[in-house]
Amino acid sequence: FEIDGLVLKVNRFEQRERLGSTAKSPRWMIAYKFEKYEATTRLNEIQVQVGKTGAITPVAILEPVELAGTKVSRASLHNADEIQRKDVRPGDVVVVEKAGKIIPHIVRVEKHRRKGKLPKGRGLGMACSHYVSGASKPVHWTGEPHATVNLKLDFDGSIVLLTGAPEIGQGSSTALAQLAAEVLGVDLSRIRVVAGDSEISPKDNGAYSSRITVIVGNAVVEAAGKLRRLLAEAAAREFGIRPEDVEIDGEMFRAGKQDQGLSFEEVVIAAVKEAGTITVKGNYSTPLEAQGGKKYRGATVGSTVAYSYAALVVEVEVDAPVAEEAEPTAAPVLVPGERPILAGEEQAVTSPQAQEPEPGIAAIPPEEGILTSQPEPTAEQIREGEELLAQRESGEEEMPAFPEEEEEVGPVEVEIEEAVAEPAEEAEPAPAAAAPEPVVTYEPVRLTNIYIQAGAFVQFDNANRLRAKLSPLGRVRVTPVKLGEQEMFRVRLGPVATVEEADQLLERLIGTGYTDARLIVVE
């Protein structure tokens, strides 16, 4: 019979007297009630009953469900107000409870399981698997068993499982120990597995094709069955009965239900006292019909002796703040102090989020900045850009020359040489003019602050890879910059001598696929 609780008492009377009692109950006794019995089922329909007094009572007709030892198929809904309060509808999945283990009633409706679209933040996921469980075809053709296992029983009741099947982190030794313990009916702590020791363990074919649990496991089952029969025979000799009449209940051996029985340790002593330590062997080979014939000979796996199947459906609920945090945030590429130009005309635009061409690069943190907008290149422009880049790499096309240094340099002495005009053919020679005196002037040479930024990266390695790709186009530098707490690495070409040359280079970059490239001026 099922019970709904327990009453716990102190056994010894002298301890009861010392504990005494309160005005309501004794201190040496306490009642413990189990948790309420609940079950989930489907509400098929709502019927209405009319009582002798004319009272109308709605009744829920349920799919039969086991609850507290009885089958429940009906539950009272009390009245219309209760139906409205709980929002009970036909077809709902409901939770039913027995009040006082007697009267069933609906506790709540699982509204999220109603047919149709799930509420925001909830979703269903399903996964199925179908996998082989061991290759049937042997990796050798000697005719020996596909798996061999030894079980050794000693005087202290310990059992050693010897196998050549290697434990490589897949849990095979645990699975083999569990199989042996289940067949023998003993605690798992009695089993010790020695795996992969070629000096003392029988040979095994190895860990491949998920074979150990099925193929080596069957060898364990055979060996454990042999050891169980030996123990039953030893107990039968002690009882003076036939081995098949011995009742084995876990680690207890009895001659009948009323017999006090012998413990596992006592039966072990009876089994080993004459012959000493007991060793049994178990073998297993896959059935010939599962091996698929000789057409699989030499194949890596071939057919399998068994398949494993699994299916899992889960319902997941995600907190709203988590979903909001997962949204990507836009961030500009430039930092304060940089401004874009386009053919001499400035234009402020909103920056799209910078996308890195290499994987694993985080989004750039937001900073104020302005960029020029560039139209998407046409197919013709891309083709021309690819041709120009190919010419550049082959040395047929000259790119704009870049100055070697960014810093301003001091005055440079420039010598103006005398120019001599070539006489035209069939023309009278002109009178020679007096040669001017050589003139030496000093002019400051300044580098421009016009650059083309090809990208910005969180990882230096990604920035350096892009620098290497763009190096055939001219001077490329990787410079670090701090944006808040985040360090970034910018890839820039330049400085470029003029705006016109910069526009040409930018067009080539965009045409060859670097659509995020921007023309900037560092102030």
- Judgement on whether residues 466 and 512 belong to the same structural domain of the protein: yes
Same domain, 186 and 267: yes
Same domain for 187 and 80:
no
- We report the CATH number of the domain holding residue 70 as 2.40.50.140
In a domain, 433, yes or no: no
Amino acid at 366: P
pLDDT at 331: 37
Domain count along the chain: 3
The per-residue DSSP string of 422-478 comes to PPPTTSPPPPPPPPPPP-EEEE------EEEEEEEESSHHHHHHHHHHHGGGS-EEE
pLDDT tens digits for range 170-203: 899 999 999 999 999 999 999 999 998 888 999 9
Of 114, 131, 162, which residue sits at a domain end? 114
The residue with tokens 């469900």 is 65
Same domain, 226 and 346: no
Q: Please state the φ and ψ torsions of residue 506, each to the nearest 5 degrees.
A: -60, -40
Point out the domain boundary residue: 250, 269, 285: 285
Looking at the structure, tell me whether residues 110 and 152 fall in a common domain.
no
Q: What is the CATH number of the domain that holds 377?
A: 3.30.70.1070
- Residues 76, 46: Cα–Cα separation, whole Å: 10
In degrees, rounded to 5, the angle at the alpha carbon of residue 96 between the alpha carbons of residues 94 and 97 is 155
Q: In angstroms, rounded to a whole number, what is the distance separating the alpha carbons of residues 453 and 521? A: 10
Shared domain check, 167 and 109: no
CB 125 within 8 A of CB 313: yes
pLDDT at 363: 41
Asked if residue 243 is part of any domain, the answer here is: yes
Together in a domain, 167 and 56: no
The verdict on residue 323 lying in a domain is no
Q: Could you tell me the CATH number of the domain that includes residue 171?
A: 3.30.365.10
Asked whether residue 328 is assigned to any structural domain, the reply reads no
Cα gap 450→497, rounded to integer Å: 7
Q: Are residues 353 and 449 in the same domain?
A: yes
- Kindly state whether residue 99 falls inside one of the protein's structural domains: yes
pLDDT for 69: 74
Domain match, 356 and 504 both: yes
pLDDT at res. 506:
85
Give domain status of residue 1, yes or no: no
* 462 shares its domain with 365: yes
DSSP per-residue letters across 186-252: --GGGEEEEES-TTTSPP---S-TT-IIIIIHHHHHHHHHHHHHHHHHHHHHHHTS-GGG-EEETTE
Domain that holds residue 71: 38-114
Question: In 3D, which of 211, 207, 133 has the Cα closest to residue 165?
Answer: 207
- Whether 394 is covered by a domain: the verdict is yes
Residue 455 lies in a domain: yes
Residues 96, 52, single domain; the answer is yes
- Shared domain for 163 and 237, answered yes or no, is yes
Low-confidence ranges of the chain (pLDDT < 50): 322-374, 397, 399-424, 442-445
Final residue before a domain boundary, out of 242, 260, 285: 285
Query: What is the reported pLDDT for 210?
Result: 86
Asked if 314 and 474 touch (Cβ cutoff 8 Å), the reply is no
